[in-house]
Amino acid sequence: MQRTVVSTTHAPAAVGPYSQAIRIGDLVYTAGQIGIVPASGTIEGRTIEEQTHQVLRNLRAVLEAAGSGLEQVVKTTVFLKDMGDFKAMNAVYAAYFPSEPPARSAVQAAALPLGAMVEIEAIALAG
C-alpha cells in the first residue's frame, strides 16, 4: 500500500516534525489538531467551546485534503487540559457528529501544545 503525506493550508501547519495526516490505502490517520486558526497561527478563543469548534474545523480540513470527511471518522481520541471541560466539549463535538458518531476515547493531559485546552486526533476511512 502507498503511504501518502497529507497537507493542506486550510488547517494549521505542523508545529514540529510530523505530518497533518498520513493516508495509507483507504485509511487516514490524523495528527492531533488544536484550535489554531490557520490564517493567523493563534489559538481560537479562550473557552473550551470556541477551541473545540476550531479543532473540529481543522480536523475536517485535514480529512477533506485526504479525500475523507468527518462522516467517515471511525475513531477519535480527545485530549483535554481539564476533564472538567468534558461536558462543554462534548456538546460541541456532538454537533459535528450528529448521527452514528465514531468510537472515542477522552483523557486529561497534563499540558497540551501552545497552551491549548483541547486536542483531537482521528482515524477515518477514505475513498
- Homologous superfamily in CATH for domain 3-125: RutC-like (3.30.1330.40)
Q: Which residue has the cell 483531537?
A: 120
Is 117:48 a contact under the CB 8 Å cutoff?
Answer: yes
| Tens digits of residue pLDDT in 46-90 | 999 999 999 999 999 999 999 999 999 999 999 999 999 999 999
Terminal CA-to-CA distance of the chain, rounded, Å? 14
What distance in Å separates the CA atoms of residue 7 and residue 62, rounded to the nearest whole number?
A: 7
Report pLDDT for 43.
94
Mean pLDDT score across all residues of the chain: 96
Report pLDDT for 15.
77
Average pLDDT for residues 26-39, to the nearest whole number? 97
